[in-house]
Amino acid sequence: MLLADMGADVIKIEKPNGGDDTRRYGPPFIEGESAAFLTLNRNKRSIVLDLKSEQGLAIVRHMLEDADVMIHNFRPGVVDRMGLAFEDVSALNPAIVYCTVSGFGTTGPYSSRAGFDLVAQGMSGLMSINGFPDSPPAKVGVPMADLNTGMFCAYGILTAYINRLVTGKGQHVDASLIESGIAYTLYESATYFATGEVAGPLGSAHRMIAPYQAFATQDGYINIGAANQNNWERMCRAVGREDLLDDERFASNPERMVSIDALTPIMEETFRTQTTDHWVKTLEKAGVPCGPIYNMKQVYADPHVQSREMAVPLEHPKAGSIRNIGVPVKLSDTPGSVRTPAPLLGQHSDEVLTEFGYEDTDVTAFKDAGVLG
């Protein structure tokens, strides 16, 4: 999706009899189309191929001869049996960038295991640091390991592609859910490496700076980011708590972290005296980073979010008028865009095979044989 947003021609190869499992994620569904699938698959084209047939594999191999990138998420060993391992594909096309996505990577004792986001969040440590102290393990609300792996794949693919522009040679990009989860435990891993201490969950609080968390207000919550000494001092003056500036327990960030159990109830008592809107306006005027905590309806009602075009209208051939998340990084000369809605299953099968040199009679024969959908 990230590559497609920036202009790559992404051809999604789906299995017969239902295609990508994400097509059945839900509810919600819009005219039978999964809202999750619609979000993840914009700007892509869909073809249906039976990769259990030799004819289907032959079509894929033919397509790979001219492809820049191949991405797959089969378990290790499956592509070997299909003749689509990195060594096989690079023999067909030495310039191809070949990306493997898996739960645990292509090497190591767990390489043959199946992997899902939930499993990776647990085994990467993310669930041990999420939630509140003394609460059961909690996963991050979004599929963090899945999404991070996609981000690292895009990063790896583009890095390999830049190298290919210089050398003319492709390479294997190997990304896993567990490693992508571990890579985001920056402070927690740093603490363990430095001290041997095992970090636990802190709710919305920061592990190394304070006050940097959500506080209840008269009518909701507010996030406060007094992440350095200047912001701390500005915050104290803005909320009428200049007395805290003279309290030795809170003199600097290390002291505030040591005395966090004393500081937090003081901050909670202070912020409960006024509404979220009052505090946001007061703190913004003082130059203190802060913000309300939105639900998704409030996110897309925010005028700044609207001005940054983070909700994009689309027309889907079956679902009708829909919206999708906008492109989050803006380029001045070559901006990304959400150009087309998620495809119907096999919507582009005929079109794509024609582009790869197959005749109409070939396409018809493939369909008659059940190879193409």
User: What is the spatial distance between Cα 298 and Cα 93, in angstroms, rounded to a whole number?
Assistant: 49
**Short-list 32, 18, 44, 7, CA closest to 322:** 32
Q: Say whether 229 sits in a helix, a strand or coil.
A: helix
Backbone angles phi and psi of 314, in degrees to 5: -140, 155
Backbone angles phi and psi of 214, in degrees to 5: -90, 140
Check if the beta carbon of residue 15 is closer than 8 Å to that of residue 48: yes
Backbone angles phi and psi of 286, in degrees to 5: -85, -5
Check if the beta carbon of residue 324 is closer than 8 Å to that of residue 314: yes
Active-site residues, by number, are 146
- Interaxial angle between packed helices 276-286 and 229-238, expressed in degrees from 0 to 180 and rounded to the nearest 10: 130
